[in-house]
Structure 1
Amino acid sequence: HVVPHGDRTALFADGTGAITLIDPAAMGEGELDLLEETATEDPHHGVAVPLEDGGLLTTQGTEDSRSTVQVLDADGEVTAQTDDCPGVHGEAAAQPTESGDVISLGCENGSVIYRDGEFHKVAIEGDYQRSGNQKGHEDSPIVLADHKVEADPAGGIERPTEIALIDTRSDSQQIVDLGSEYWFRSLDRGPEGEALVLTADGELNILDPETGEILHEVAVAEEWTEPDNWQEPGPMMSVADGTAFVVDPAAQTLTMVDVASGEIYRELELLVVPHEIQVTTGTASGEYEIAPGSGESEGEHDDEGEHSGHDHEGHDH
């Protein structure tokens, strides 16, 4: 798993528990600068997040279970720990406080938030609630996440219609029912922190993360349902520079939506069935516009990708 945060990027290897920290700016110069190499106590399906103060947030666990999240300082000493995050999966960085980074992580009994040097638990209704796919924004205290409440769903796949808007200031969450299912590829954030969710009715829902109000509903795809095999192609989205790029494999289309207005401004037919999407500028600066009015001719545009969140967990997403 690859998690960029601040001026460092963490690489986490499930099979060995190895954590490698690199300087992404050096990669822009064609160099690979290994800043630090460490490892968890045991291999497991985990994640590591570099912190702005030089520390590191990481999961601890085994192949059979994982419930622990630790924060290590620059010297490798544990400064904060929680063991109350069963099945830990999914992370997102939110707007930092004066004390530093704010990180949300998904658990099977409600998310846990690292803030002001301590871990805080998000209260839930019932015994089981999983937000294993989370999307944050550096200027928003709200984290967008999926909302699953079935510990043992029929057929092995839960098809939720509700999302969670996790408030990292109050350790609470607002649940919003969109009335249509979605999957782990459905979530992203807009340039102003808007919460974007692509639902199975073919709509792109653009929400105000503070209120949960739907600002725009945009028809961007045919109706669909989550594939039984998560590795099969399905509708997906990536946001960059104010544009939501939505791919519909069934129709073989790429639709570009201006997030601020909710307007579709370009549609392309694809010659292949798309399986993944990642938007990148190909330049270190990323200072390009692709939204309407940029003055670029059709077929000539640069786009910027951004990372936040931990997208999926193999067969258990």
Structure 2
Amino acid sequence: MRTLPKLSALTLAAAALTMALAACGSSSAGGSGSPTTAQAPTEATPSEKPVEVSDVDPRAAITYDGGIQIVDTSDGSVVADIEKEGFLRLNPAGDGRHVLVSSSAGFEVLDLGMIVKPHGDHNHYYTTTPGLTGAVIEAETPGHVVTHAGKTAVFDDGTGTVTIFDTSALEDGQLSPDELTSFQTNDPHHGVAVPLAGGSVLVTEGTEDERHTVHERKADGSIGAESTDCPGVHGEATAQGEDVVSFGCTNGSVVFRDGQFHKVPVPETYQRSGNQFGSPDSPYVLTDYKTVEPVDGAEPEHPTKVGIINTTDATTTTVELGSAYWFRSFGRGAAGEGVVLTYDGKLNILDPASAKVTKQVDVVSPWTEKENWQEPGPNVKTAGDFAYVTDPATQKLHLVQISTGELLSSLDLSVVPNEMTVIDAELKH
């Protein structure tokens, strides 16, 4: 068993270093990547020797006004409560243990304190006290986090910088300079990068005002396949197969498959699927489906249809749910099922292959999306065969088994939940 050294908070703070990262290559315009730094915030939690236990249940990281709670999803007990100001976003790091917290500092590493060690035909389980590890990838405006092909990529919208590391590098909760590579896109924009198994990266290009390009950036910095027919590019999802990725646009999505981009035709002139949700065991990608182009001062669209993209032939179908949803309503099940929470309080479970709703589960009280998306609203996350649903109105965390459509438990929370992610230590993302 790997034993973590015991360090005092003072020692950690004194040992904090600013690490300048050299760019791993130039952008398509020939510009070099700007430095990315990683350093330790002063609220770092000391490391401790892990304690062996009989099993570890999934843990939920939940933000609230003033911090982050780590909750044991088996009984609702609070494993840790971390004070932290500001609006915080939570992103699974992909290793079944850590979360990247988007904060004013950048992407901070949060350890949920669950460790699984394979040992022949069985596993050993350990726990430690959750907390921020002290590692942070500095970012002016931390944006999308994507895990794929054993790597994790983060995008700084404020500088257009992409930083990538092997997901396994987080085993010790730290990120050293030689574990990180970075490169710069042409201009700062709200972008995304997806590492591929072959060593290249799919990355967006654009500006703060306009973006419509996704291309394959090879390891040497050269550009391979490219699509410029993706206006408003936003949102991505990986699907079954090696390096199959879908991107949302405002004129129908684009799918990268077999080394090429394929446009997904849609009947509407304007069709945005900017929130996409994939599964490694399914060729189908679940999306939102908007068809009304936004106009300043007009009421935002609240669609009741969702989209299902078949990545094998780049086609899409829609499913009418009869009630609206928002971007935090979505998830995928262990067998590739789609789940969508709607305003009527129901969790809709879909079969993507038939584009049918197979089950509806009454989970939360009826709700509507708030005008400010940063205010608390119901949040859906999935891990394996289970969907976890928060209800800020009642301060509850609900657990639904996706395959059976059964509401298994409703746990009391001591805070009003906002953002959430759920980590099952036995599942790598």
TM-score range (shorter-chain normalised) is 0.7 to 0.9
Query: Cα deviations across residues 1-21 of structure 1 (Å, max 9, x unaligned)?
Result: 211111111111001011111
Tell whether 2:225 aligns with 1:80. yes
Deviation at 1:30, TM superposition (A): 3.0
Q: What's the counterpart of residue 400 of structure 2?
A: 257
Q: Which has the higher contact order (CA 8 A, sep 6+)?
A: 2
**Match of 2:381, as an amino acid?**
S
Question: What is the 5 A alignment of 1:12-161?
Answer: 12-33=155-176, 34-96=179-241, 100-152=242-294, 155-161=298-304
**Match of 1:65, as an amino acid?**
E
SS in 2 for 1:278: strand
SS in 1 for 2:408: strand
Q: Give the RMSD, CA atoms, in angstroms.
A: 1.3
Number of matched residues? 283
Tell whether 2:334 aligns with 1:230. no
Q: 2: distance between equivalents of 1:117 and 1:39? A: 22
SS in 1 for 2:298: helix
More displaced 10-residue stretch of structure 1: 272-281 or 228-237: 272-281
Q: 2: distance between equivalents of 1:35 and 1:243? A: 33
**Preserved CA contact (<8 Å) 1:278 1:305:** no
Q: What's the counterpart of residue 296 of structure 1?
A: none
Selected match of 1:216 from 339, 359, 362:
359
**Preserved CA contact (<8 Å) 1:237 1:244:** yes
Question: What is the 5 A alignment of 1:296-307?
Answer: 306=429
**Match of 1:83, as an amino acid?**
T
Q: What's the counterpart of residue 169 of structure 1?
A: 312
**Match of 2:249, as an amino acid?**
C
More displaced 10-residue stretch of structure 1: 23-32 or 270-279: 23-32
SS in 2 for 1:26: helix
Task: Provide structure 1 residue ranges, at least 5 long, that are not aligned to the other structure.
Answer: 288-303, 307-317
Q: 2: distance between equivalents of 1:180 and 1:250? A: 19
Query: Cα deviations across residues 234-263 of structure 1 (Å, max 9, x unaligned)?
Result: 111111131111111112111101111010
Q: 2: distance between equivalents of 1:95 and 1:158? A: 31
**Match of 1:151, as an amino acid?**
E
Deviation at 1:155, TM superposition (A): 3.1
SS in 1 for 2:230: coil
Query: Cα deviations across residues 148-198 of structure 1 (Å, max 9, x unaligned)?
Result: 000026734110000000011111111110000000000110011100000
Selected match of 1:197 from 324, 330, 340:
340
Q: 2: distance between equivalents of 1:255 and 1:117? A: 41
TM-score, structure 2 normalization: 0.64
SS in 2 for 1:28: helix
**Match of 1:120, as an amino acid?**
H
SS in 1 for 2:170: helix
**Preserved CA contact (<8 Å) 1:89 1:133:** yes
Q: 1: distance between equivalents of 2:173 and 2:266? A: 46
Q: What's the counterpart of residue 61 of structure 2?
A: none
Deviation at 1:305, TM superposition (A): 7.7
Q: What's the counterpart of residue 272 of structure 1?
A: 415
**Match of 1:52, as an amino acid?**
A
**Preserved CA contact (<8 Å) 1:163 1:176:** yes
**Preserved CA contact (<8 Å) 1:279 1:305:** no
Q: What's the counterpart of residue 52 of structure 2?
A: none
